[in-house]
Amino acid sequence: MICSVKTPSLARSGRPFSVSAAGSFILLAVLLLSGCAGRLEKASALYYQGQPQQALELLDKGDSLGGRNALLFLVEKGVVRHQLGDYRGSIDSLLAAARLIDQFETISLTEQAGSLVINDWMTRYKGEYSERLWIHSYLMMDYLLLGQFDDALVEARLALKRLEQYPDALKNDYFTRALMALCYAQLGEDNDAFLVYKRLAADLGPAPVAADLVRLAARIGMPDEVETYKSYLSEALPQGEAELVLFVANGRIPVKKPGNIILPTLTRISFPYYENRATRLPSLSFIPSDLTPSAVLSTDMAQVAKDALEQRKVQIIVRETARVAGKEALAQSVGNKNGGGTELAVRLGLMLLEEADTRSWLTLPGRLTLVRIPLVAGHYQLEILRGDSSGPLPLPEFDIAPGQRLFRSIRF
Amino acid sequence: MKIGRIIMMLSLGALVITASGCTGRVTTREVAPDEKVIYDEGYHFSDKKAIVDHMVKSLLSKYPLDRAPDRPVLIVYGIANRTSEHISTSAISDDIRMELIQSGRVRFVNETQRANIEQELNYQYGGNVAAETRIAKARQIGAKYMLTGTLRSIEKDQPKQFRFKKKTLMYYSLNLELTDLESGLIEWADSTEVIREASKPFIGW
């Protein structure tokens, strides 16, 4: 594509320096845009090939060109370390990612200028609204798995802040909302837990959270709310003196794709969109077979990611319009002063540089599901059946005491 | 040649943008423990000192510790973190305990070392330690009071409007309680607050 710029007609225009400079510029831009993203994609490929350790080694090499993808390296490491059972390492990466997002609140003029002249790949990746929320979701899981309930509650409060910032885009993340309620309930913050469950009941229907609402309303002293939600309780609701909570991740989140519109003036408008890829809700059953979940709350990550990108659409359109107008003005100015051949070369160069920012958090699952199983205290050796042809997935053996809530994370 | 210049400038601009963040020199300076250094609206080490000083003064000057003649024994059951930050509340309770011990008016059960005390006792009675040097069993002192607390925060952002700076108001409150373990009554309670406003620019280089 770079060679195609060096057309004979351009050479005849007597401006060889312009053409070679344009070529250098495009080559430089391509190098800048490809280097680190390639490392992220390779790490993601290794991860999905079942080689998380190798993926981590690659991610540890980091972002070598100016830190534009620093956030992605941190969040990818967060998920890979979580998968490897290194929950402390996962926390370190994800807390660093959260701190980085705080820094993004200040708009950098140099960065904005770069993105307006070239494309959005020139900016530091700041994370979609959904991805910003999922940093807190994974931190909540990590802290709960480590038994650091105070810290899990801190993350629940930060997740609530994100949900309040972008309520329409994020309301379908039922997994994170249920996880937040669990963090509140774990530390006896009954009123906060009740409010989260009540909002879930409004959006999802009361049945999946009715048992929690009845229990919490009774403890807070709200008999009218107890009566309201009692009618939604299933008679066959399993009971137990302890609880196993499973964080079940399955599938993979869709990647962003570039959408393109090319106008007759050789003006290219490029925008990101998520490809359609649904991840089914896993049909889970357990061995021993008498174990039944009391609650299953699941998030279709693709749907939430799409909603979040949709919410940002206006911002993307405004930036795209400004960039197109700027490039058009530049091309016309060059054409007026240097002739049609040079204008064509510039238009081609600018068109090649217009590229949708398709960066995203690649190692996320397609679906996150919260499964709560009431248990009698004792020693357990559980196996999970996934409702397909794959064999049973054994959980490491565990003991559970009366009143205890035990957390485990699985991904398939 | 103008187009060449424009393109070269764009290339240079891209390089500058990419390399930004690599410039600048690291500088350090010593900070006195009682100096107030505050970067943002969040919790800082100087807040801990103010909180601890207030609470220790209140505990020692009010009932029941102000008139306790026999250096009562306390146990700390930690301070719950109910803020939106990962704050080490054990650092607050450790400092409160240290200042109270240094006052000479109270004593503390070392709750965090119970497992190690048990391990050492087992070792002493395991056959390797001379009988006359072994410490006596069942002579530990029970606590009379339990010290507990909660650190809370409320954050309020300035409403969305056209502005160049974002203002945030942060409110921290620490509540402490002293519970009589025999009667179950809260014999002392106090709270201290830190309220701070910070503004951050929306636009930077």
pLDDT at A10: 32
Residue B20 has pLDDT above 50, yes or no: no
| Interstrand relation of B73-82 and B107-108 (parallel, antiparallel or unpaired) | parallel
A150 vs B11, B13, B81: nearest CB:
B81
Tell me what pLDDT residue A123 has.
86
- What gap in Å lies between CA A257 and CA A63, rounded to an integer? 22
Closest by CA to A372, choosing from A195, A224, A227, A242, is: A242
Average pLDDT over residues A239-248: 93
- Look up residue B136 and give its DSSP letter: P
Rounded mean pLDDT, A188-206: 95
Label residue A316 exposed, middle or buried (CB < 10 Å: 0-12, 13-18, 19+): middle
Q: Are A245 and A405 in contact (CB under 8 A)?
A: yes
The residue in chain B having the minimum alpha-carbon distance to the alpha carbon of residue A334 is B3
pLDDT at A383 over 90: yes
pLDDT band at A63 (very low <50, low <70, confident <90, very high): confident
Average pLDDT over residues A240-265: 92
Beta-bridge partners for B82: B152
| Arithmetic mean of pLDDT, A359-375 | 96
Q: How many CA atoms lie within 13 A of A75 on its CB side?
A: 29
Contact check, Cβ <8 Å, A109/B80: no
E-strand stretches of A230-366: 242-250, 256-263, 267-274, 285-287, 295-300
User: Sorting pLDDT into bands at 50, 70 and 90, what band is B198?
Assistant: confident
Q: Do B17 and A337 touch (CB under 8 A)?
A: no
**pLDDT on residue A24:** 55
Whether residue B205 lies within 8 A of chain A, CB to CB, comes out as yes
Average pLDDT over residues A42-71: 91
More confident residue, A57 or B201: A57
Q: CB B205 to CB A158 under 8 A?
A: no
> Is the model's pLDDT at A112 over the cut of 80?
no
Nearest alpha carbon to residue A152 among A99, A104, A94, A101: A94
| Structure-token pair, residue A146 | 């480590």
Interface touch B17/A66, C-beta < 8 Å: yes
| C-beta atoms of A24 and B11 within 8 A | yes
pLDDT per position as a tens digit, A293-331:
988 999 999 999 999 999 998 888 888 888 888 888 888
Q: How far apart are CA A172 and CA B202, in angstroms?
A: 30
**Residues in chain B within 8 Å Cβ distance of A17:** 1, 4
> DSSP labels for A169-224?
HHTT-HHHHHHHHHHHHHTT-HHHHHHHHHHHHHHH-SGGGHHHHHHHHHHHT-HH
Residue A15 has pLDDT above 50, yes or no: no
**What are the φ/ψ torsions at residue A366 (nearest 5 degrees)?**
-80, -25
User: Does A162 have pLDDT greater than 50?
Assistant: yes
Contacts of A92 in chain B (CB under 8 A): none
Could you say which of B22, B155, B203 has the minimum Cβ distance to residue A107? B203
The answer, for A368 touching chain B at a CB cutoff of 8 Å, is no
Neighbours of B71 (CB within 10 A): 12
d(CA B182, CA A386): 53
Residue of A17, A30, A20 lying closest to A353 (CA atoms): A30
pLDDT at B159 over 80: no
Which of B15, B21, B203 has its CB closest to that of A67? B21
According to DSSP, the β-strands at B165-180 and B186-201 are antiparallel
Q: Where is pLDDT greater, at A6 or B14?
A: B14
Cβ–Cβ gap B17/A25 under 8 Å: no
Query: Residue A21 pLDDT > 60, yes or no?
Result: no
Chain-chain contact of B205 with A157 (C-beta, under 8 angstroms): no
